[in-house]
Structure 1
Amino acid sequence: MLLKLFVTGKTPRSRKTIDNVKSAFKARLSENAIPEVIDVLDRPQQAQEEEVLVTPTLIRLIPTSVRRLIGDFSDGNKAFDLLDFGGETS
């Protein structure tokens, strides 16, 4: 499984988004399923390659088709459900 979470800077909002997503994913998947966090200010090239236009954006690249979510992810569990892992939860 390959997940990427794009955020902008090291702001309180970015930190909250990262915490929400990580805690939801840790609770429902293995440790190695935690999204890679990418700060678009530090790595703009990667954001461009993934066609990320706004942040925060969460992308599921594997399994099956690519799925993208955009928002604050205040409900990390809802974000998890929307990514539709097809029964891959632990």
Structure 2
Amino acid sequence: MEDAEQPGCSANDGRYEENIYELKLYVICDNQKSQIAFANLKDICDKYLEGKCHIEIIDLKKSPDLARLDQIVAVPTLIRKNYPGKKIVGDLSDQKKVMEVLDLRTPSFTGASNEKGSV
């Protein structure tokens, strides 16, 4: 996941396998809420997705035109690629809600802690 900090980098070093969760996080990199969302997403991937995720980070400050493609109206926004309508806006602190909204079902997810705070 260390490579995912740069826009366009992946959590699995570019290797694609079956059952990989394709995620796209729209951020503004110098925005604190975006940084928190990225840290929370890394935590979710480490705890529940067991390295089976590909994270594409899109900095809208550098590529604002990309927001139109996925109809992004606020940041941070996380979407699950190839699953229309599977998106969540906020700092991703409510891990259970993130997992449920994006339909990220894994054996290690049995109901992540429902922490207080915005999603």
Normalised to the residue count of structure 2, the TM-score between the two structures is: 0.61
Q: Does 1:81 align with 2:103?
A: no
In structure 1, the residue matched to 2:44 is: 24
Q: Distance in 2 between matches of 1:37 and 1:77?
A: 21
CA RMSD of aligned residues (A): 2.0
The structure that is strand-richer by fraction is: 1
State the AA in 2 paired with 1:81: E
Partner of 1:27: helix, strand, or coil? helix
Normalised to the residue count of structure 1, the TM-score between the two structures is: 0.77
Measured after TM superposition, the shift of residue 24 of structure 1 is: 0.9
Q: Equivalent residues in 2 for 1:10-89 (5 A)?
A: 10-62=30-82, 65-66=83-84, 67-85=86-104, 87-89=105-107
Structure 1 runs not aligned, ≥5 long: none
Determine what percentage of the aligned residue pairs are the same residue.
30
Measured after TM superposition, the shift of residue 58 of structure 1 is: 0.7
Q: Which has the higher contact order (CA 8 A, sep 6+)?
A: 1
Q: Distance in 2 between matches of 1:32 and 1:57?
A: 20
State whether residues 7 and 14 of structure 1, in contact with CA within 8 Å, keep that contact through their aligned partners in structure 2.
yes
Measured after TM superposition, the shift of residue 89 of structure 1 is: 4.6
Q: What count of residue pairs does the alignment treat as equivalent?
A: 87
CA distance 1:29–1:44, shift in 2 (3 Å):
same
State the AA in 2 paired with 1:71: G
The Cα offsets for residues 16-55 of structure 1, whole Å up to 9 and x where unpaired, read as 1100111112211132404211111111122222211111
Q: Distance in 2 between matches of 1:22 and 1:89?
A: 18
The structure that is helix-richer by fraction is: 1
- Bigger radius of gyration: 2
